[in-house]
Structure 1
Amino acid sequence: MPAPDGTPLATDLCLPAGPGPHPAVLVRTPYDRTRHRAELRGWARRGFAALAQDVRGRYGSAGRWHPYRQEAADGAATARWVRARSWSDGRLLAAGASYAAHCALVLALDPAVREEEDAAPDAVLAAVPALGAADTAREASGPERLLARAGWWAAHGDRPDSDERALAAVLATDPDALGHLPVEELPRRFGRPLPSWPALWRTGDRGRLLRLAPGSNVPLLAVGGTHDPFLAQTLALWRAWGAPAARLLLGPWGHGLTAAPGPDATAAHRLPLGPLYAAWARAALEGRLAAAPHGAVGLGGSPLWLPVPGARACARWPFGRRGGLRLLSGATFTAHPARPVRSDDLRVPVPDGPGHRAADRCLLAGPPLDRPLDLLGAAAVRLRATADTPAADWVARLTALTPAGTARHLATGVVRRAEVPGRAGDTTVPLGFLALRLPAGTRLRLEIAGHHFPAHARNPHTGADPVTAAVPRPSRRTVHPAHSALLLPAVPACRPADAVDPRQEICR
């Protein structure tokens, strides 16, 4: 299929067996269209003309790939081409997961596309959506997502195909590669040039699609996982969507959804997503969805699906007081860039004291739960703390210590803050959306640290840009327990009577 400038875009098409015309579903992907052939056959069996297209410069498509930059124009040309085919009845669903969800969303939201006749879709299915380069590169509070972006760029950046094991191969021979400074020059350790890597960190316009979402005028199905790194963006997209028929489906899944269930997923969370997507698409394209936002979330650790909650007050677990979290060690600690708290290690050091290394984090824990605890909503840490450096990242990591003695990660939040050295400041560290049941006997452990490496780049503590800084310094920290607390979205024990059927909730 020709792009607007004539560049051929490789496109697979699977048509239903019966006579047409048919509604169409379009998936545009940088991850090889041929991997979608089973999906296309599934759509076709349900009466849709199904297409998968390699984006410009990837796999079978010609041209040069510039991630996130050319998808609106190329997608609009594809939409017009689809609607002009004899097998098309003119109705078009833009669908995709991760980067492909970005391709679907720009087709619906980009102002230039919406001005073109027959270019915009009639509905959007966005699963674990990547909203844009700037949104994926950094947390909303500023810290760089080092591990995820290094892995993605090593696998896919500046090449026409992919090598999913590229970063693992680098780390196998060079375990300290991600510690390279400055971060901007990290590709020197990868063994191949990545000319687009420095530009990733200079990408601006964070939140562009979220700012455009209130102007949307087509139905949306946003799908995500409570263990997915893009969970916050999925929720924000659904909440910002302007068209009234917006639906949200969240399960206890990772980025691969039902193919990547979390440790708290149950048999009730193994939804057959293909039939559900097709049923929703039929309802959306036929105008049968109610003009109100609806959603369903799977409560991990239970078989229940529940309505997505609205904003609610959180229960406070104060630091160092009865009914809260006991301070174990590290009210004063040192965040040292040469010995950062690791994101890939849930073990904690023994309490600081004679003969032990100085504390590298503040460590707190709660008593065993005397009954199951249901958490449904946004969690956070309210923190009063002091740093002796002009810049600091504040990391809060929440872990469940199970009755069996294992540690299970629940949530991590990180906030970047400019500091007045030596002056206490108040900050809120968001921990994101939780939807899970903790069994009786579980203990909560909370760590307050200055790094979360290699998931996030290390703050040099000098005020310099962490992407270009080459000389970091240690940062001495103090947490003030009397003015700090863990905020948890505890709800009354959820019962079967509270549950919803996710299929009905999405399609009504």
Structure 2
Amino acid sequence: MTIRTEFPHPIVEHEDMGIVLPDGCRLSARVWMPEDAEARPVPAVLEYIPYRKRDGTLPRDEMMHPYMAGHGYACVRVDMRGNGDSEGLMTDEYTQQEMDDAVAVIDWLSQQAWCSGAVGMMGKSWGGFNCLQAAFNQPPALKAVISVCSTTDRFADDIHYKGGCLLGENFGWGAVMLSFSSRPPDPVLRPDWRRMWMERLESEPWLAPRWAALQERGAFWKHGSVGEDYARMQTPVLIWGGWADNYMNTVAHLVENVPAPCKGIVGPWVHQYPHTAVPGPQVGFLQEALRWWDRWLKGIPNGAEDDPAYRVWMMDSAPPDASAKARPGHWVAEAEWPSPRVSRQVLTLGASRGAGTSQGYLGLGETGNLQVTIATPQHLGLRAGEFFPMGLNAEMPGDQREDDALSVCFDADVLEAGLDLLGAAEVRLRLSSDRPLGFVVARLCDVAPEGASVRIAHGMLNLCHRGSMERPAPMVPGQTVEVAFRLDQMAYRLAPGHRLRLALSNSYWPFVWPSPAAGRLTLTGGSLTLPVHQGSGDEWTPPPAEHAAPWKHRVIRAGKTRRCIEEDLITGTVALVVEDDLGDAENLTHGLCSGETMSERWEIRPDDPLSARAVHVWEQRLSRGDWSVRTRAEAEMTGTADTLRMTAVLRAWEGEALVFERHWDDRVDRRHV
């Protein structure tokens, strides 16, 4: 990693540039631009998110935006309405108001004296979502976007539902936003900070039950899903993803479907920007971004439009490691996607052939008399990892052996020559259920000779959604149906001597919220279709990772993280416990001290899906001199056979005085989950 401190253009910074929207709401922007931009206008690059430029994303902002400004761009980091130092209130994610504000900001930027009139938009996660949404909305000044870790489908491929299954992180994300949005502006920038803070707290939404009530792919989820009409994507897109992140599917979807110039890059990374992300190798994301902006915002003929359509890090077999610092592999560059170098191989699920296999066999054209029951214990899935891992705190999938032992597994023969996979596998199953509500999870694993199991990809299907995501229908108990679903995209090379495993389950805690009853699926047939790549060597050499100087700060109190699995030997309850104390630090530039602490507990009994319970606690701290504030959000989720219950309490302190307290207690009907 190289830290750059000298750039072609000296820059100036504006810590609080006001952008007034058509309704009078003032957004706060932190802006870096070349010193002579007023005389020699430059393109603007917008990042527009709710995560607070003054403290939240400041460490990463200072490594990225000055770098790009030093190469001749005005980099504009905007706090969205109702967040950070911006006025107004935020009611939900990706609202029409949010999108309209983005279009207004882009238009405002294009008209500034220091802007050439061309605007680009970039972002990761929320910012990756809304820059795709901005491209979908086609503001005239928006000439290109760079999106990292985002989605094209808010129902099928986001943190709320997957394959129609209600994700545990739907609740977790609601708790996160309850905490994140509870913080006030910085009094140094907003003298009326307290009034703004109280308005935010009074209007704070508890979003988890709202999202959980929307159990089909309706208008709410289609709004903001750019896959609804790819033809509207007329703006050039550079899209990035990571195999350790759960937004890995977006890259292939966009490259395949967007009519505008679109290039995709997927590395081994977690939910971070690729120049700082683990597992390595890290790459020169900022140099690649600069190349994209130069081509589409400045019109420099650098050939970016002729780059390979799809560049991916094909990971090699390696021992399982939930905190992997690096993943061995090589870069594959596909000139087009779908690739003519990928063929489809169909393996049939067959009855066990005896020694060396699990409950079943995975092979060519062999079925046997398959009659297998899938009735897995509720605590299966404790090593699934986070929906979007952020770093090295055992957040990635670990050794799958324990989950495999609880699953119904189909093993292929030991590989003699290895196997390269690139794309999405598809599972087809013939099954019946003894319950109207239920789901099935498929994990594709790489099993080493000594038995270690690495998850290559996973996928799932809520059986109510077997025919339609828009119009789900309960299963008819005892009735056999054919279902099909895709696993996540992958790029993986299995080593000779390893074997491929398909593991099936109807529980996956806490990744998926359990069904209301411990059902039994009867499997009588099925197949696995693999995307087999013809093989390749190293086909791309990315630039090395570099960034601008990191933020100047002082650690007041170091953080620490704990992640463990607990078992109560009396009650039988099994729990995943996460405690993440980020400590406290002082910003040496403007003096604001900030800190954050969170804890999660996901508990369940193996024999009882209604024992599922999640408890999350988040604390936020801000101070400077004699001024200090603190907020604490506590949330809990449980369920009965008919309803899901989500409670929350939000408290806020000014100094030692409690100045706000609010409670929520919501119940959601279990129609399809």
Instruction: Please say if 1:251 is aligned against 2:274.
Output: no
- In structure 2, what is the equivalent of residue 60 of structure 1? 85
Distance 1:484 1:369, change over 3 A: same
Shift of 1:97: 0.9
Shift of 1:224: 1.0
Distance 1:157 1:233, change over 3 A: farther
- Conserved 8 A contact 1:249-1:502: no
What does 1:255-294 correspond to in 2, within 5 Å? 255-258=271-274, 259-262=276-279, 269-287=281-299, 288=301, 289-290=304-305, 294=309
More helix by share: 1
What does 1:330-341 correspond to in 2, within 5 Å? 331-335=372-376, 339-341=378-380
Q: Which runs of 5+ in 1 are unaligned?
A: 164-192, 352-359, 460-471, 504-508
Distance 1:133 1:500, change over 3 A: closer
Shift of 1:140: 5.3
Shift of 1:63: 1.5
- In structure 1, what is the equivalent of residue 158 of structure 2? 136
Amino acid at match of 1:331: V
Shift of 1:502: 5.5
Distance 1:37 1:500, change over 3 A: closer
After alignment, is 127-136 or 416-425 more displaced? 127-136
Q: Deviations over 1:32-57 (max 9, x none)?
A: 22421331101111111111011111
Amino acid at match of 1:143: C
Q: Deviations over 1:404-427 (max 9, x none)?
A: 643222111111124232232222
- Conserved 8 A contact 1:221-1:248: yes
- In structure 2, what is the equivalent of residue 7 of structure 1? 25
- In structure 2, what is the equivalent of residue 197 of structure 1? 208
- Among 71, 86, 96, which residue is 2:113 paired with? 86
Paired with 2:250 and 2:537, the residues of 1 have a C-alpha distance of 29
Q: Partner of 2:121: helix, strand, or coil? A: strand
Distance 1:372 1:202, change over 3 A: same
Paired with 2:491 and 2:122, the residues of 1 have a C-alpha distance of 26
- Among 502, 508, 514, which residue is 1:458 paired with? 514
Q: Deviations over 1:102-126 (max 9, x none)?
A: 221222212xx64xxx5x5111111
What does 1:60-459 correspond to in 2, within 5 Å? 60-66=85-91, 67-69=93-95, 70-110=97-137, 114=139, 120-131=141-152, 134=155, 136-139=158-161, 141-147=163-169, 149-157=170-178, 159-160=180-181, 195-202=206-213, 204-205=218-219, 206-207=221-222, 208-243=225-260, 245-258=261-274, 259-262=276-279, 269-287=281-299, 288=301, 289-290=304-305, 294-301=309-316, 302-307=329-334, 309-310=337-338, 312-320=342-350, 326-328=357-359, 331-335=372-376, 339-344=378-383, 346-348=400-402, 361-403=407-449, 405-418=451-464, 419-459=475-515
Q: Deviations over 1:10-47 (max 9, x none)?
A: 10010124552111100001112242133110111111
Give identity over the alignment, percent.
24
TM-score (norm 2): 0.60
- In structure 2, what is the equivalent of residue 23 of structure 1? 43
More strand by share: 2
Paired with 2:50 and 2:404, the residues of 1 have a C-alpha distance of 46
Distance 1:274 1:393, change over 3 A: same
Distance 1:310 1:25, change over 3 A: same
- Conserved 8 A contact 1:71-1:106: no
- Conserved 8 A contact 2:381-2:403: no
Q: Which runs of 5+ in 2 are unaligned?
A: 1-18, 185-203, 317-328, 361-370, 385-399, 465-474, 544-673
After alignment, is 371-380 or 123-132 more displaced? 123-132
After alignment, is 253-262 or 410-419 more displaced? 253-262
Amino acid at match of 1:255: H
Paired with 2:359 and 2:154, the residues of 1 have a C-alpha distance of 40
Paired with 1:420 and 1:260, the residues of 2 have a C-alpha distance of 46
Distance 1:444 1:292, change over 3 A: closer
Distance 1:41 1:404, change over 3 A: farther
- In structure 1, what is the equivalent of residue 527 of structure 2? 485
After alignment, is 59-68 or 287-296 more displaced? 287-296
- In structure 1, what is the equivalent of residue 641 of structure 2? none
Paired with 2:404 and 2:34, the residues of 1 have a C-alpha distance of 63
- Conserved 8 A contact 2:425-2:489: yes
- In structure 2, what is the equivalent of residue 356 of structure 1? none
Amino acid at match of 1:49: A
Paired with 1:439 and 1:390, the residues of 2 have a C-alpha distance of 41
Distance 1:370 1:63, change over 3 A: same
Paired with 1:200 and 1:340, the residues of 2 have a C-alpha distance of 24
Paired with 1:105 and 1:279, the residues of 2 have a C-alpha distance of 19
Q: Partner of 1:122: helix, strand, or coil? A: strand
Larger radius of gyration: 2
**C-alpha RMSD of the superposition:** 3.0
Distance 1:502 1:428, change over 3 A: farther
Q: Partner of 1:377: helix, strand, or coil? A: strand
